[in-house]
Amino acid sequence: MRSVLFIIFLFYFSFSFSNEKTSPHLFKLKNGMDVIIIENKRAPVIAQMIWYNFGSGIEEKGKSGLAHFMEHLMFKGTRKFPDNYYSNYISKVGGSENAFTSYDYTAYYQVFPKSELKKMMKMEADRMTNLTLTKENVEIEKRVILEERFQRIESDPSSKLDESMRSILFPNHYYGRPIIGWRHEIEGLTYEDVLSFYKDNYKPNNAILVLSGDVDLEKAKKLSKKYYGKIRKGKKEKKLKVTDPDLDTNIFVKMKHSTVKQPIWKKFYRTISYKSDVQSSIALDMGLKIVASGTASLLYQNLVEEKKIFSVVGGYFQGLTKGEGNVYLYAISKEKKPSSEIDSIIMNEFREIINEKLTPKRFEIEKKKYFFDTIYKKDGVLNPAQIYGEALTVGLTLDDIKKWQERVDNISLNDVKKVLEELYDNGNYVIGELSN
């Protein structure tokens, strides 16, 4: 149930929340915890999300996987609510829950009837500071995580290749090590490592509480102060900010595995992010959707349907990060071709699209789709909590979110072409090949 990687569709969220129904109320508790209330009275349901502003990025070198390990252990119970009490209670009242760890954040959420708000806040606040950890459950969970790593990465050649490519693309940054951790480092994690990580980082001033749905603002303020406001804040440690050098060489990674039926070509770029440049990132996201996203994309239409060179081709932009963003391109050739030739075919087509095939008509269609996607993806009680929580945790502001649609409206075809040209000229990439 607990996922290492954040749900993939969050990478594509738009953030236009200018209408009154979803306008958030933000306040800060005395211990430094930020609280966001998003009122939506359409159904008697509430989503509670806790966004911790750290993920695997704060792990000490040599102890990779601690953040994800801790996410698992947060479901082990407290003295007040032992073992599986919390999860069983949520199930009993007809609710749902989950959690996920990323490089930059760790998040926990519950969706439940509005009548259960007080109890849910009480239980979530309790495990922020009173988690029951024993050497026995740490060792048991370690075995679970090692098996998860085997299932998700070590038994999946494509994931193994991705892991290797990221470690090369980000040689200095924590984005280069796996969120779940390296196997040999997971095996070396101890009860003391886990306990220290929990005590040092699970603090209210490291967290954002988001309540979305049929929640009353004044009641939410009162309950937030009662349950979360009493928790003592922790020390704010200054984290060393590291960046990666430019990749001045052409880097190619090849992995062979007997189970691979068709060779897969991949290309990973380091790029801008929404934190570094909101406007350009929107343009890049929009441009990649036109060029490489799905069967309606220009790359797919030109190289799969018309020229029939590939059976699959695509790509996407991942920019909701505290550090640099990423662009992922991938393809499966119908006939065996060297990776250098595949790269040449795709990049030549990429250049032709920018120069000739990215028309004003196609751009306006994509811009309208972007607008409607914004409407669809802010529906419900959980989606707004996810959107605001993730955006604020990676370093965007409420003003950035409120002005999102205005920024989208201001994007021009020239803006999109400019960022696509910059991607075309971007030398910070790694090419990978998976074959048998």
Residues 409/418, Cβ–Cβ less than 8 Å: no
Sequence-distant (6+) residues with CB within 8 A of 184 are none
C-alpha 338/C-alpha 33 separation (Å) is: 53
Which pLDDT does position 14 carry in this prediction?
39
C-alpha 293/C-alpha 297 separation (Å) is: 5
Residues 251-435: name the CATH superfamily: Metalloenzyme, LuxS/M16 peptidase-like (3.30.830.10)
Which pLDDT does position 2 carry in this prediction?
46
Which pLDDT does position 240 carry in this prediction?
67
Rounded (5°) CA angle 282-287-293 = 110
Which residues partner with 82 through β-bridges? 77
pTM of the model: 0.91
Point out the least confidently predicted range of 45-59, 331-345, 352-366, 368-382: 368-382
Known catalytic residues are: 71
> Is the pLDDT assigned to residue 16 strictly greater than 50?
no
> Strand runs (DSSP E) across 247-389, as ranges?
251-256, 264-271, 310-318, 325-333
Which pLDDT does position 198 carry in this prediction?
97
Residues 75/131, Cβ–Cβ less than 8 Å: no
> Is the pLDDT assigned to residue 318 strictly greater than 60?
yes
C-alpha 381/C-alpha 211 separation (Å) is: 9
Residues 304/359, Cβ–Cβ less than 8 Å: no
How much of the chain, in percent, has pLDDT values that exceed 70?
94
Mean pLDDT computed over 209-232: 96
Collapsing DSSP to helix, strand or coil, 404 comes out as helix
Which part of the chain has CATH 3.30.830.10?
Answer: 8-227, 251-435
Which pLDDT does position 237 carry in this prediction?
64
How much of the chain, in percent, has pLDDT values that exceed 90?
84
Identify which of 85, 83, 97 has the alpha carbon closest to the alpha carbon of residue 140. Answer: 83
Which pLDDT does position 167 carry in this prediction?
97
Structure confidence at residue 372 as a pLDDT band (50, 70, 90): confident
Give pLDDT tens digits for 84-138.
Answer: 999 999 999 999 999 999 999 999 999 999 999 999 999 999 999 999 999 999 9
CA end-to-end span of the chain: 32
Structure confidence at residue 71 as a pLDDT band (50, 70, 90): very high
Distance between alpha carbon 153 and the CA centroid of its chain, in Å?
A: 18
Mean pLDDT computed over 374-389: 85
C-alpha 315/C-alpha 266 separation (Å) is: 9
> Is the pLDDT assigned to residue 1 strictly greater than 80?
no
> Is the pLDDT assigned to residue 238 strictly greater than 70?
no
C-alpha 304/C-alpha 361 separation (Å) is: 22
> Parallel, antiparallel, or unpaired for β 24-28 and 106-113?
unpaired
Identify which of 295, 288, 303 has the alpha carbon closest to the alpha carbon of residue 342. Answer: 303
Which pLDDT does position 236 carry in this prediction?
73
Give the up-direction half-sphere exposure of residue 66: CA atoms within 13 A in the CB hemisphere: 25
Return the higher-pLDDT residue of 379 and 171: 171
Instruction: Count other C-beta atoms under 10 Å from residue 82's C-beta.
Output: 11
Four-way CATH pick for 8-227: 3.30.70.980, 3.40.50.261, 3.40.1410.10, 3.30.830.10 = 3.30.830.10
CA distances from 63 to 75, 78, 366 (A): 21, 25, 44
How are strands ordered across the β-sheet holding 34-39?
24-28, 34-39, 207-213, 45-52, 106-113, 96-101
Averaged confidence pLDDT in the chain: 92
Return the higher-pLDDT residue of 12 and 363: 363
Which pLDDT does position 22 carry in this prediction?
55
Collapsing DSSP to helix, strand or coil, 321 comes out as coil
> Is the pLDDT assigned to residue 331 strictly greater than 90?
yes
Q: How is residue 418 annotated by DSSP?
A: H
Contacts of 139-148 with C-beta under 8 Å, sequence gap 24+, read 139/191, 141/69, 141/72, 141/73, 141/76, 142/69, 142/186, 142/187, 142/189, 144/72, 145/65, 145/68, 145/69, 145/72, 145/180, 145/181, 145/186, 146/183, 146/186, 146/187, 148/4, 148/180
> Is the pLDDT assigned to residue 397 strictly greater than 90?
yes
**Pair of tokens at residue 329:** 């391109």
Which pLDDT does position 6 carry in this prediction?
38
Which pLDDT does position 3 carry in this prediction?
43
C-alpha 126/C-alpha 178 separation (Å) is: 30
C-alpha 259/C-alpha 368 separation (Å) is: 42
Continuous segment of H or E residues that includes residue 143: helix 135-149
CA distances from 322 to 120, 201, 242 (A): 30, 18, 12
> Is the pLDDT assigned to residue 232 strictly greater than 70?
yes
Give pLDDT tens digits for 249-258.
Answer: 889 999 999 9
Which pLDDT does position 12 carry in this prediction?
39
Using only C-alpha atoms, the chain has a radius of gyration, in whole angstroms, of: 23
> Is the pLDDT assigned to residue 18 strictly greater than 70?
no
Instruction: Count other C-beta atoms under 10 Å from residue 383's C-beta.
Output: 19
Point out the least confidently predicted range of 15-29, 149-163, 291-305, 355-369: 15-29
Angle, in degrees to the nearest 10, between helices 278-292 and 360-377: 110
